[in-house]
Amino acid sequence: MPELPEVESLRLSLIPRIVGSTIQKVRVLMPKLVSSKGTTRTVSNTKVAEFINGLEDTKIVSINRRAKNLIFNLSSGGILLVHLKMTGQLAFKSNKNSHDKAVIGGHPIQESELVLPNKHSYIIMQLDNGSLYYNDVRQFGYLLYFKSLEVFEAEGHFENLGLEPLDQEFIWQDFYTKIKAKTGNIKKLFLDQTVVVGLGNIYADEVLFRAGVLPTRNTNSLTKVEIKKIYEAILVILPKAVNMGGSSVANYIMADGSRGTYAHEHMVYGRGGKECLVCGTILQKTVIASRTTIFCPECQK
């Protein structure tokens, strides 16, 4: 599942390729993906029509991100919200240069590296400089169109999300205040995204290891010094992961054809049963909030 660094890397890769491009034609082959965001979705022909009519003949002005959501701002004033969820993928293929590699980000779908569109391509946008495909193996993601910023904000889509760790506004005092207002397991808290967004399973394990804090700790047991170490670890790990294209070594293809390499930096994630790279102790494995969690019983307290 793509996490914040992977989504941010995708955003940065798409910006130079499609911002300023005009969406000429839109094909919706899986109507439920543009109808709503719920787990159980009913197809709305009205939503499909609004989606197509709202996107066609508009220019992509900018691409922003909130948590793991991509926000396409359109010249009409409309908003396109894209959430890849667990199995979604965006792929852009230029029609200007046949030698340009596709920019692909999201869930690994091998077919996308071989041919576009493929059997998982359910939304296809023809731009004036190429094609943007939304591929989704299990159709968990969604693309929603809003005719204006006011309509989008009224949806309240982001009302329960926490602080953005890559923003300048991510300051220590706000982070500390939010942590102290919560109770419960620290890793589970990070996974629910209400304190800070972007610490999914991979990065929660890596941050807590760097901070020397066990993922099983209750927030009310954390000292101010420990919370500060967690904050500082976030400031180091997430920007570095973005700069390295995220952790999906084989799955993310950036605008320059390179792939995400942060998985090579993992200290604990995916290394359960192996020796700690710092102290040599065997890394332990447990399950928190239904997610496999790896930690070092020596380095983390």
The percentage of the chain sitting over the pLDDT mark of 90, rounded to a whole number, equals 77
Check if 68 is active-site: yes
Could you read off the pLDDT of 14-39 as tens digits, one per residue? 999 999 999 999 999 999 999 999 88
Return the pLDDT at 251: 45
This prediction has a pTM of: 0.89
For the residues 163-192, what does the mean pLDDT come to?
Answer: 96
Return the pLDDT at 247: 54
Dist. CA 124–CA 136, nearest whole Å? 12
Return the pLDDT at 249: 40
**pLDDT band of 1, cuts 50, 70, 90:** low
Which domains does the chain possess? 4-154 (3.20.190.10), 172-295 (1.10.8.50)
Return the pLDDT at 152: 95
Return the pLDDT at 3: 83
- Which tokens sit at 4? 């914040």
Could you read off the pLDDT of 241-294 as tens digits, one per residue? 888 766 554 444 554 555 556 667 899 999 999 999 999 999 999 999 999 999
For the residues 84-94, what does the mean pLDDT come to?
Answer: 93
Taken in order 62, 65, 70, 76, the sign of the CA dihedral is negative
Check if 291 is active-site: yes
Residue 267 backbone phi and psi in degrees, to 5: -95, -35
**Active-site residue, from 3, 6, 8, 206:** 3
Could you read off the pLDDT of 182-235 as tens digits, one per residue? 999 999 999 999 999 988 899 999 999 999 999 999 999 999 999 999 999 999
Return the pLDDT at 68: 93
Could you read off the pLDDT of 111-157 as tens digits, one per residue? 888 899 999 999 999 999 999 999 999 999 999 999 999 999 999 98
16, exposed or middle or buried, with CB in 10 Å at 0-12, 13-18, 19+? exposed
Name the DSSP letter for residue 275: B
Return the pLDDT at 241: 87
* Helix (H) or strand (E) run with residue 225 in it: helix 224-243
**Active-site residue, from 101, 182, 217, 291:** 291
**Active-site residue, from 32, 68, 85, 93:** 68
Check if 3 is active-site: yes
